A and B are shown apart, each in its own frame.
Chain A
Amino acid sequence: MKDDTMLAKWLNNELDAKELEAFMSTPEFATYNKIKEYSAQLTAPEADMDALYARISANKNKPAQKVRTLNPWISRIAAMLVIALGATYFLYINKTTTQLAENGQRTEFLLPDNSSVTLNAGSEADYKTWNWKNNRKLQLDGEAYFKAAKGKTFDVVTAMGKVTVVGTQFNVKARDNRFDVTCFEGKVRVTSNGKAVLLTPGKSITFENGKMQTSEDKKTQPGWLTYEVVYSNEKLTSVINEIERQYSVDVELTVQHPEKLSAFTGYIPMNNLNNALESITTAYNLKSQKTGNKIILSVE
């Protein structure tokens, strides 16, 4: 360790007597001593510090040159304009259009590229019109039938999964933890919970509670459009919820353990309340009582 600072310590008179004696007896000592002696006689070249200070004074007292006097009002107005423009642009880009279908209603609307969407009762769709052609993305809560125009990918995003198509006709139902997609024309790619499936016309897929089930659907459009809904293995409570939405009524199922009832497979008309209720009561041995808008289903 001492080997790379010893000379510096000597130069500073920090060596003890013993170290000093040892150093002085080395042959190089003479040269080092002369270096020490003569280097102390060196000087830096003379400098005219007064002239330097004068130059500095002259330069530092010219603030007017460096400061651009800009009318403060111009800056303020410009700033306000920028903020206003920025905010407006931001709002414009993020403007989301919402389409609703209330209970007992359905809503049909066109997207900016003339794709058509029909919302079933009790459903909502949200999308941004800005840059639609390049970003065709729609958020769906409920059920809708899509006729997507050909173009860039068309995405329907639901809480349970995503559907991606390129110009086709398909139905998406996303309700109560159950995600159903049916393809009527073209090709449909469905992703849910990390699983991806490609549907061709006539094929349908159901995701529920982590389980996936495929089925066939020979029709050319979803049943609900013509008020005839076909169910396969659907929870009774889901069927009843749909009846509530279609007919805009309130149905109460007074049964001890509704989840223990078997799933419903069959056909429910959505334009005749009495027939609809009869389908349920017959299948499950219930009786129905109607008072105004409220219906009570109970065990027979």
Chain B
Amino acid sequence: MAFSKKKEYRAIGIPYFFCRFAGVIINFYNLHPLLQAKMKQNSLKGICEEIIYSNFFKSHAKALRNYLFYKYGNEEQAEDVTQEAFIKLWENCASVPLEKAKSFLYTVANNTTLNQIAHQKVVLEYTKKNPVSGTDKQSPEFLMEEDQFKVKLQKAIANLTEAQRTAFLLHRIDGKKYHEIAEILGISVKAVEKRLHGALNELRKEIDNIR
């Protein structure tokens, strides 16, 4: 007579669960900060090297900070987030190759949820040097009209949505090309064009008082 054969299944179950327990413990150990530090020492290529890191900073920090200023309207917050992003880059330098560093930087910056100060109006100044365009012919009335226009423009820009404002200013002030803006904002070129079109449209409507 054959009796129950279920005992065999237990032989599989026990080692399986044993290994899973062991795996969890080992994973914990691998994420130990000491081990991470060792990994960083071992890859002194790329961003982990001080010189490369500082050159990278020189090339990209200002642009990032400007973008963040257009986004938040607050200088201090823009600098804080820039600082945070660069520090994160340093902490992860062992796993971020140089080619991916810029994209990493902007991803971190865009996803930061530091104590966000409530959105503030973006205040921009005009450069002192005005491009000369036949200034001789300009009467005082003309100049006053232009000044009024410029003030209206500043106000109108401050009233744009964050999406439109950042795209617009990246193009007008920093002179970024559309594909560069697309990369910074993480959207398509087509989306950039739509935002710019929308921005211009809104600006005109506000300046010409058509609502």
Which residues of A approach B to under 8 Å, CB–CB? 4-9, 11-12, 28, 31-32, 34-35, 37-45, 47, 49, 52-53, 55-56, 59-60, 63, 66-70, 72, 75, 79, 82-83, 86-87, 90-91, 94, 96, 98, 100, 103, 122, 124, 126, 139, 141-142, 241, 244-245
Contacts and interface: CB of A to CB of B under 8 A. Distances in A.
Interface of B: 1, 3-4, 6-7, 10, 13-14, 17-18, 21-22, 25-26, 28-29, 32-34, 37, 54, 57-58, 61-62, 65-66, 69-70, 75, 79, 82-83, 86-87, 90-91, 124-127, 130-131, 146, 149-150, 153-154, 157, 168-169, 171-174, 178, 190, 192-198, 200-201, 203-204, 207-208
Contact of A11 (B66, B171, B190): B171
Contacts of A90: 14, 17
Please give me the 10 A-B residue pairs with the lowest Cβ-Cβ distance, nearest first.
A8-B193, A8-B196, A5-B193, A67-B33, A39-B172, A79-B25, A7-B197, A60-B90, A7-B200, A44-B66
A91 B21 CA distance: 13
Contacts of B83: 52, 55-56, 59
Q: Give the interface SS of chain B, mostly helix, strand, loop or mixed.
A: helix
28 contacts: A28-B204, A31-B204, A34-B149, A35-B207, A38-B146, A41-B130, A41-B131, A42-B126, A42-B157, A43-B125, A47-B65, A49-B58, A52-B65, A52-B79, A53-B57, A60-B91, A68-B33, A79-B25, A79-B29, A83-B22, A87-B14, A87-B17, A94-B10, A98-B4, A98-B7, A100-B3, A139-B4, A141-B3
Contact of A96 (B10, B58, B66, B146): B10
Given A39-B153, A47-B65, A126-B6, A75 B29 contact: yes
B14 A91 contact: yes
B157 A39 contact: yes
Given A42-B125, A45-B69, A72-B34, 15 more contacts: A4-B194, A4-B197, A8-B194, A32-B200, A35-B204, A38-B126, A41-B126, A43-B125, A43-B126, A44-B174, A45-B125, A47-B62, A75-B29, A79-B28, A241-B1
A7 B168 CA distance: 12
B70 A31 contact: no
A126 B4 contact: yes
A252 to B, nearest CB: 15
A12 B82 CA distance: 29
Q: Give the interface SS of chain A, mostly helix, strand, loop or mixed.
A: helix
B207 A124 contact: no
Contacts of B208: 28, 31
A60 to B, nearest CB: 4
A5 B6 contact: no
Contact of A66 (B10, B29, B33, B204): B33
B172 A40 contact: yes
Given A38-B150, A49-B61, A63-B37, A43 B18 contact: no
Contacts of B196: 5, 7-8, 11
A113 B135 CA distance: 105
B202 to A, nearest CB: 10
Given A9-B193, A11-B171, A53-B54, A44 B207 contact: no
Contacts of A56: 57, 83, 86-87, 90
Contacts of A67: 33-34, 37
Contacts of B54: 53
Contacts of B203: 35
